Amino acid sequence: MLEKTVCELFAGVGGFRLGLEKTNEWKVIWANQWEPSMKVQHAFDCYTKHFETGIHINDDIAKVATSEIPTHTLLVGGFPCQDYSVARTQAKGIEGKKGVLWWEIQRIVKDKQPPFLLLENVDRLLKSPAKQRGRDFGIILGCLSELGYNVEWRVINAADYGYPQKRRRIFIFGFKNNTNYSTYLKTTTFHNWIYKAGFFASAFPVEEPMFISMFDKSNMNMKKDIVDISDNFSYEFGNAGIMNSNGDFYTQKVQPIPEPEFQLKNLLESNVDEKYYLDQDSLEKWTYMKGSKREIRKSKSGYEYNYTEGAVPFPDDIEKPARTMLTSEGSKNRSTHVVLDPGTNRLRILTPTEAERINCFPDDWTNTGMPEKFRYFCMGNALVVGVIERMGDTLSKIVDGENLNKNLKDIDEMSVPLSVIVDNDSYTSNGISL
């Protein structure tokens, strides 16, 4: 019997947990958050203020023994994008762990073997590093294949599905080969899984093309030596894909079926504190920062070069979702949002509360004693909570299916589509009860 228990890595201020627990199904029993560059652990303090249950660890994850981590059904985490390369040495094989945090995930997954995992990263992970495109993601797929996981991935722009921010992130869903859910993967095509039947298609529908794209990559395999992947692998991954535990994978460029756009004006406050408004003296600098540029610049060494840059909306269009919020939000920066206040019609930056709303956090979530600058920083790092809540609902149904204790051999012999929805005491798929 699988319980809906979660272990959370790189927890930040709790976006994953907030989204999952909004379903009233999932329970986070262990979480780790540690910011190596901070003397004061503001994010961890915020997390522990809001979440009282479970074990909370404020330490370098590399120092945490896997024996300290409880058995769990779902492992989640938004891990920083780094260099995941490895190097071969005669004595130890895989060394040079530059992508430290990925290798910590790999270590924990190898030892704890959770049935399911859900990870998040920036979408450039699919293309990194620039000199060996796709290598880093290939290493992740190769590692998970070695550990007996099927993997589905999808780049999701939150704004496409009615959320307040154009935040594009890759989500990686892994499920062990001995799960009922994995058994259903064997009964359909990879193409059908991506477009109709899979985890992401269920929660975030995409348009199915009339013809299979020339980008069809169905005959590829990741069952490779990890060091060989690090040294030689390069590949153009699509924004969606599926890999079985044998390493066979299929990837496509998919288009979302968009939902009505959220308008930024619907979350703005009015007549805010004076400190958020742009003063007349700084308006010229803001205009320059936001504007397009084509100019000659000089490097520190004296080398002159042509510099070009496109314009950023100034002020931001409040009839549309917010742009992607960065950790520099709130500072005098080109990427900072500038809006017309609905009450005063004056130009201003967003308030910390508005930054929280853009990520679907409750008002004043980060108002826990941290400096205001760090409140913006936390939201620049955070998830869009609504996206996770939607995934949590789908995950809950999948685990309900695991607890039916169906005979996997019997299920495996049935040819049924893969869109698995829990209906009372049975799996149903397109009206077929199993």
Which tokens sit at 33? 């958050």
Taken as a whole, the chain contains a residue count of 434
Look-up: residue for tokens 């909004």? Answer: 22
Beta bridge partners of 251: 241
Nearest to 161 by CA among 33, 41, 68, 262: 262
Establish whether 81 is a catalytic residue.
yes
Instruction: State whether residue 334 is helix, strand or coil.
Output: coil
Please state, in angstroms and rounded to a whole number, the distance separating the CA atoms of residues 36 and 23. Answer: 32
363-372 own/partner pairs: CB under 8 Å, 24+ apart? 365/13, 365/46, 365/50, 366/13, 366/46, 368/42, 368/45, 368/46, 368/49, 368/50, 369/42, 369/45, 370/40, 370/42, 370/43, 370/45, 370/46, 371/42, 372/330
Report, in this order, helix, strand and coil percent for the chain, each rounded to 5: 30, 20, 45
Catalytic residue among 81, 143, 360, 378: 81
Phi and psi torsions of 128, nearest 5°: -95, 150
Could you tell me how many helices (H) and strands (E) the chain has, helices first?
A: 13, 19
The set of catalytic residues is 81
